[in-house]
Structure 1
Amino acid sequence: MIAVASSSPLHSNSHLQRSSVSLTYTTATLTCAHPFISLLQKCSNTLQLQQIHSLMLKTGAFHNDPLLFTRLLFASCSFSDDPFSRRYALQILSLSPFRNTIVYNSAIRGFSLGSMPEECLLLYLEMLEEETFFPDLYSFPSLLKACSRISAFSEGTQLHGCAVKVEAVADPCVQNALIGMYSACGMIGDARLAFDKMPERTCVSWNCMIASYAEIGCWEDMKSLFWLMVEQSSLAPSSITLVRMITACTRSGDFNSGKRVHRYIEENHVVLSVHLGNALMNMYARFGEMETAHKLFDEMPESDVVSWTTLVSGYAGVGCLEHSRKLFGKMPNRNVVTWNAMIAGYILNGCFKEAAFLFGEMLALDVKPDKASIVSMLSACVQLGDLRMGRTLHAYVEKVRTNFPLELVNSLIEMYSKCGSMDPAEALFKRMEVKNEISWTLMVVGYVKCGEKEVALEIFNKMPHKDGVSWNALTSALAHCNYFSEALSLFHEMQRAEVSSNDLTLVSLLSACGRVGALELGKWIHAYVDRNNIVMDAHLASSLIDMYAKCGCIELSLEVFDDMPKKDVLTWTMMIQGLAMHGHGKHALNLFNQMMQEGVQPDGITFIGVLSACSHGGFVDEGRHYFNLMTQVYGISPKTEHYSCMVDLFGRCGLLSEVEDFMKNIPTNSNGEAIWGALLGACRIHGNVELAEYAMNHLLELDPSNSGAYVLLSNVYAKASQWADVVKVRNMMKGNGIQKMPGCSLIEVNGTVHEFFAGDISHPQSKEICLLLDEMEQQLESSNHLQEFDICTGYI
């Protein structure tokens, strides 16, 4: 067959000249083997190999040089990526004039490095069966490497036994190959056992074992072994091992060990190669030490695009966007990763429009975006709520890509669903050949947020596999969208299905319990947290405090608060707001003073609770003091909520002229509905008709359909006995088509949440409930505690 190949037109000199390997040697030159070895080293495919083989046959070099034949055989086995190439390689071996162990080892090594490493093992078995070959020290490393590449653990252990039998296992190269094989097959314990049994460990052995730990992310074992190598052997780790060690410190969050490795590098005068310098820069950048990272950059003998990108990404990560952008502009070369880093930096810092502008610049310069670019920009669209940009990105992807990776499709679905456009999300979802739990969950949560909870629950029930993330995501979404009953029902299903709840779900459910007054379920969740030893972090504790306060159990809120070993501003704020809600104004203010004494910095939300406590308690002087403290000492700019608390405070105390003076100093952009609503409420209490009409006009300018404004003004007129004006207001509401939203109340009884709307008699016990309410009303009338009725609706 080989002789035929030499005369075949496929292997003629004309074809050889057209190949990528340049063969310009004369016949006299070809009698020497060395040019052929050079050509074989440059050879890149089977066609070129066959052409070189043809010339070797013509010149007779093939039969005169064992080394040349061995190189030819090695190359043919390395290209055995299809049945024809494999047969060609085996035919060269079968027609070999030199049948010895060296030749066989060359074939085994070639197969082990090729695209079909399993052929190495098949060849080994065939030769053993023919009893033409017996393995030696040079056979096992290649055979074990083939086992590593295809995770052939059973075959690898058999080779280990054979190596022991022929006493080859003591060779360091065989031992290193065993470590690599066991670790590649996921048997890291066996790899470490082989390492520990080595009588003498070379630098390659240490580096091989360290690399094995790095491959599977066993960072602590890797770090321990590294320091063992450094401290107990005279061997120095290679540059690659140092890079792996720094990467391990970075990924495991062990900054101290990373700095220790850096000291080792400096003390031992290790040359700072590009890869080692980049690893150190990346570590310091990840931990926010940008001054050191930049110093390393300046000290590196040479830098590459990765070095620059690390600086750009690092400065963006610590919020220094201006510096990051300047470095980006100075870069001598940029690749798509660099553009992605700058775009991601803008998105990380909330500069979504700047990210979109940079993406446009990237396209204008003909830099082709990759999957990461599109995914980042889709997240910016979500944050901006920019459906138009999202659709443009989708159209671009459809135009330039033939295949859609799962992550990219999921990002598109997330963009459409969070922008409230479920039709294109549904179309993408139906087109997907492969859907994972994330795909299903995005659809479910998207429909909940669009107000179609029935569709969401239907999709959820059709999910082929529901993981904990799916359950928790749907439960949290229902709670956030005020579908409290459905959220609590789903939580009960989770418990029956023995699905664990995460912190986010528990926080959402506690919020739902507070909103619907489900005290017993809230207590059960609290017990669930204790029973499962869930860490009581600030968010979870704050949610419990808020839930107990809203369910009327301020004492239990205080118990949770007092049991917290470490309190942050969120925990203090929730407790202050809870006390203010229950009318314990003095206690709330005392707690705020204690908070400041302990050095906890209050924020704007904390001051809302403090000012609310002053408002409900009628503490005018204290209110002025804390408002000035917030603005002048802590430098917090007042928001609409702060202004409305002050207006409510002055209004409750009848200081209406002071309210007018205070409101003149409120900026226009903070002059919201809550402020004018508070003023209108104060007018209702004190019967100031003229000021109520003034407040009403401003309130309707902001929101003409505000039914509460009409109701409050109607009550002001009723209190002043101006009945004609009451009728006028009611006629205005009818004429403008404005209806007061019916009040809604929820209460938990025996673990079931009952929901009531004003005027609704659909509850099966509505007759008994109305009779009890009538009895309560009579008792309130007899004790002169009956509050005013809403003139327009007839409800308290």
Structure 2
Amino acid sequence: MSSLSIRAPTWVSRRRLLEHKLSELQEHANLNHLKQVYALIYKENLHQDLFISTKLIDSFSLCGQTMSAVNVFNQTLHHDTRIFNKLIRSHIQNSENPQAFSTFIQMQKVGVQPDNFTYSFILKALFGRQDAFPLVQMVHAAVEKNGFCSDVYVPNSLIDTYSKCGCVSEARKLFEIMENRDKVSWNSMISGLVKTGELDHARLLFDEMPERNSYSWNIMIDGYVKSGYMNYALELFDKMPERNVVSWTTLISGFCKVGDMKMAGMLFDQMPVKNLVTWTAIISGFAEKGLLKEAISLYEQLKNSSGFQLDDSSIIAILSACAQSGLLGLGKNLHEYMNRTRYNFKTGVSNALLAMYSKCGKLTMAVNVFNEIRKKDLVSWNAMIQGLAMHGQGEEALVLFSRMKREGFEPDEFTFVGVLSACTHAGLTDEGLRFFYEMETKYGIVPRIEHYGCAVDLLGRAGRLMDCFRLVNDDMPMDANAIIWSTLLAACRQYNDVELAKIVEGRLRKLEMKEDGNFSMMSNIYAAAGDWDGVAVVRTQMKNMVFDKVSGASSIELDEEVHEFTAKDTKHKDLENIYRVIDWLGLHLKKVENCCVDDEHCFVYTC
């Protein structure tokens, strides 16, 4: 019997072909191809087909085109639970949570019944809302009413949402009455307790957990790390049956934050497999501590290692660490590397670079970076305004603020911190007060304690001490903190207002502030007024008190090393030479003082 050859059919259904193309687009989002496929679907009158419509919504969502997804939904005549779920999910994936919740309400109005996926999706849409708690309760009641509590997926979502809304007690109640718990249930509950700082309760649940996975261990380790309990974190890390990159990186970051760079470095060296996040954590850790040689050495190792390429997140993290510690060398090194490799400077990276140069004292470089940013955002303007204000160029900062508004940017609360600081440095007291009051009346921004602190500094430097006191004592809607009272005390010292200084010092005492700087200011205020009894009393109090304050430090970067100095420092490696130079300078200053006693143009600086 001869075998017959069978040819594959040459005709393929247009519908099947379009479905296949849509499936491909769901894996690799391409907006141009998607629009072409959508046009063909519309031409074939398949746009009302529920199966195809749901795939179209998914595809448009992946391309960030939620308006197109909504159009597809509206063109579909018959809506079921699945297509509503797709649209709700599309809004959530594109950070349109209010629209997701509105779609959920519309769904109920037209009589389409939600399912377990609907409730899980809509709970995610409630994150970050100020009125989230009553809405979560409403969804919880609907879940109970429709019998979805037996589906472990839905209660898990409720526990997670309650926890993220800060309602851990409600999450705990639900967790305790759950008949069936899986690893997600336990992990969600432990995570909620960790985030609210209830580490003891979290650890009890962790110890009770019947079966743990790596996520369970990492939650607890991260909780201990963020609270600074590195011994407990290390203890759990040692007990872990299987450690992953997250476990190692979390522990390394923790030791960096507490300043134990030796331990952080040792763990980094022992780590079997590193990723870019780990490298960023260790480099940033050394940079934050001002350890330039170690930071640059690791940075060079990262650049030379195969398989790793710096991305925006790692660059921003390293630049932020350089800004925090004033580590200009590494920041410049990184900037040069980015220029050499023709790195694509996105706005976020440029903003971090701008802030680094500003905080490291290189204002000209900061201005150059600012001018080169093609698409400036509000963060760019704020960073440049604050950089100018920080370096005493208040009037230039205000000119930039005016330009920012002309270019269509609305100021936010951070903008006004820079603007008020600029007015302070430029001596523009009345203009600064106008900006302070316009924050709420013109821009709808309620002043925070930082803005009140700027206003106190503004009035204090101008000598308007009673206005300053009334603002702090009568007008502030919140209690003044020690920084604000100390700022006012400094103004009292500058203008020798002894009586007001006594009142302010009393307020600081009520806050139990044992800062030697405040006592020194009071002593100087009494001395300037000739009240030597007052000086004696303050000095006696200082002798009888133990101060919590760590000595103020100054630092300088020299030959790829940051040198830090404190008062009465005895730890620096060049201690003898430093004090020898200080003594030599002191002798020369005394000679200058003796030579210039009768010269009214001679300015003498004494140690």
In the superposition, the TM-score normalised over structure 1's length comes to 0.65
Native 8 Å contact 1:518 1:747 kept in 2 = no
Q: Which residue is 1:752 aligned to?
A: 561
> Taking structure 1 as reference, are residues 421 and 625 closer, same or farther at Cα in structure 2, changes over 3 Å only?
same
After TM superposition, the structure 1 = structure 2 runs for residues 569-584 of structure 1, keeping only pairs within 5 Å, are 569-584=378-393
Shift of 1:297: 5.0
Q: Which residue is 2:335 aligned to?
A: 526
Q: Provide, for residues 722-772 of structure 1, a one-character-per-residue CA deviation record: whole Å limited to 9, x for no partner.
A: 555445433322321237643322222233322333333554555555555
After TM superposition, the structure 1 = structure 2 runs for residues 687-706 of structure 1, keeping only pairs within 5 Å, are 687-706=496-515
After TM superposition, the structure 1 = structure 2 runs for residues 161-200 of structure 1, keeping only pairs within 5 Å, are 167-168=5-6, 170-171=7-8, 199-200=10-11
> Taking structure 1 as reference, are residues 207 and 405 closer, same or farther at Cα in structure 2, changes over 3 Å only?
farther
Q: Which residue is 1:417 aligned to?
A: 225
Matched, 1:376 2:188: yes
After TM superposition, the structure 1 = structure 2 runs for residues 258-297 of structure 1, keeping only pairs within 5 Å, are 258-259=69-70, 261-262=72-73, 265-266=76-77, 272-287=79-94, 288=96, 289-290=99-100, 291-296=102-107
Q: Which residue is 1:475 aligned to?
A: 283
Matched, 1:342 2:342: no
Letter in 2 for 1:340: N
Whole-angstrom distance in 2 between the partners of 1:539 and 1:788: 45
Native 8 Å contact 2:25 2:34 kept in 1 = no
Q: Which residue is 1:30 aligned to?
A: none
> Taking structure 1 as reference, are residues 485 and 581 closer, same or farther at Cα in structure 2, changes over 3 Å only?
farther
| Structure 2: segments with no counterpart, 5+ residues | none
Native 8 Å contact 1:514 1:548 kept in 2 = yes
After TM superposition, the structure 1 = structure 2 runs for residues 638-657 of structure 1, keeping only pairs within 5 Å, are 638-657=447-466
> Taking structure 1 as reference, are residues 210 and 404 closer, same or farther at Cα in structure 2, changes over 3 Å only?
farther
> Taking structure 1 as reference, are residues 362 and 734 closer, same or farther at Cα in structure 2, changes over 3 Å only?
same
Q: Provide, for residues 497-527 of structure 1, a one-character-per-residue CA deviation record: whole Å limited to 9, x for no partner.
A: 4643343443343344334443343322222
> Taking structure 1 as reference, are residues 612 and 471 closer, same or farther at Cα in structure 2, changes over 3 Å only?
same
Whole-angstrom distance in 2 between the partners of 1:319 and 1:202: 51
Shift of 1:666: 4.1
Shift of 1:437: 0.8
Native 8 Å contact 1:274 1:300 kept in 2 = no
Whole-angstrom distance in 2 between the partners of 1:426 and 1:515: 27
Matched, 1:454 2:262: yes
Q: Which residue is 1:388 aligned to?
A: 200
Letter in 2 for 1:337: Y
Q: Which residue is 1:90 aligned to?
A: none
Whole-angstrom distance in 2 between the partners of 1:654 and 1:263: 65
Native 8 Å contact 1:538 1:570 kept in 2 = no
> Taking structure 1 as reference, are residues 227 and 317 closer, same or farther at Cα in structure 2, changes over 3 Å only?
farther
> Taking structure 1 as reference, are residues 521 and 313 closer, same or farther at Cα in structure 2, changes over 3 Å only?
closer
Whole-angstrom distance in 2 between the partners of 1:571 and 1:262: 39
Whole-angstrom distance in 2 between the partners of 1:228 and 1:622: 58
> Taking structure 1 as reference, are residues 380 and 241 closer, same or farther at Cα in structure 2, changes over 3 Å only?
same
After TM superposition, the structure 1 = structure 2 runs for residues 292-307 of structure 1, keeping only pairs within 5 Å, are 292-296=103-107, 298-299=109-110, 302-307=113-118
Whole-angstrom distance in 2 between the partners of 1:328 and 1:344: 12
Shift of 1:441: 0.9
Letter in 2 for 1:440: W
Native 8 Å contact 1:214 1:244 kept in 2 = no
Q: Which residue is 1:659 aligned to?
A: 468
Native 8 Å contact 2:358 2:366 kept in 1 = yes
Matched, 1:206 2:22: no
> Taking structure 1 as reference, are residues 377 and 210 closer, same or farther at Cα in structure 2, changes over 3 Å only?
farther
Letter in 2 for 1:606: T
Letter in 1 for 2:398: L
Native 8 Å contact 2:256 2:286 kept in 1 = yes
Whole-angstrom distance in 1 between the partners of 2:299 and 2:49: 54
Whole-angstrom distance in 2 between the partners of 1:518 and 1:417: 25
Whole-angstrom distance in 2 between the partners of 1:736 and 1:659: 30
Q: Which residue is 2:147 aligned to?
A: 333
Q: 1:542 aligns with which of 351, 364, 377?
A: 351
Whole-angstrom distance in 2 between the partners of 1:254 and 1:502: 26
Native 8 Å contact 1:382 1:415 kept in 2 = yes
Whole-angstrom distance in 1 between the partners of 2:290 and 2:448: 25
Whole-angstrom distance in 2 between the partners of 1:538 and 1:246: 31
Q: Which residue is 2:538 aligned to?
A: 729
Whole-angstrom distance in 2 between the partners of 1:312 and 1:742: 49
Native 8 Å contact 1:648 1:678 kept in 2 = yes
Native 8 Å contact 2:21 2:37 kept in 1 = yes
Whole-angstrom distance in 2 between the partners of 1:748 and 1:497: 28
> Taking structure 1 as reference, are residues 484 and 365 closer, same or farther at Cα in structure 2, changes over 3 Å only?
farther
> Taking structure 1 as reference, are residues 368 and 480 closer, same or farther at Cα in structure 2, changes over 3 Å only?
farther
Whole-angstrom distance in 2 between the partners of 1:467 and 1:598: 41
Whole-angstrom distance in 1 between the partners of 2:345 and 2:35: 32
SS at match of 2:30: helix
SS at match of 1:665: helix
Whole-angstrom distance in 1 between the partners of 2:2 and 2:494: 101
Q: Which residue is 2:482 aligned to?
A: 673
Native 8 Å contact 2:107 2:113 kept in 1 = no
Whole-angstrom distance in 1 between the partners of 2:345 and 2:147: 49
> Taking structure 1 as reference, are residues 488 and 730 closer, same or farther at Cα in structure 2, changes over 3 Å only?
farther
Whole-angstrom distance in 2 between the partners of 1:225 and 1:232: 11
> Taking structure 1 as reference, are residues 254 and 553 closer, same or farther at Cα in structure 2, changes over 3 Å only?
same
Native 8 Å contact 1:577 1:609 kept in 2 = yes
Native 8 Å contact 2:353 2:369 kept in 1 = yes
Matched, 1:433 2:433: no
Whole-angstrom distance in 2 between the partners of 1:418 and 1:528: 33
> Taking structure 1 as reference, are residues 763 and 408 closer, same or farther at Cα in structure 2, changes over 3 Å only?
closer
Whole-angstrom distance in 2 between the partners of 1:721 and 1:492: 60
Letter in 2 for 1:333: G
> Taking structure 1 as reference, are residues 284 and 497 closer, same or farther at Cα in structure 2, changes over 3 Å only?
closer
> Taking structure 1 as reference, are residues 490 and 686 closer, same or farther at Cα in structure 2, changes over 3 Å only?
farther
Q: Which residue is 1:613 aligned to?
A: 422
Shift of 1:470: 0.9
Whole-angstrom distance in 1 between the partners of 2:136 and 2:371: 45
Q: Which residue is 2:437 aligned to?
A: 628
Whole-angstrom distance in 1 between the partners of 2:430 and 2:234: 58
Q: Provide, for residues 651-686 of structure 1, a one-character-per-residue CA deviation record: whole Å limited to 9, x for no partner.
A: 222222333333321447431111111112112222
Whole-angstrom distance in 1 between the partners of 2:571 and 2:223: 40
In the superposition, the TM-score normalised over structure 2's length comes to 0.84
Matched, 1:363 2:172: no
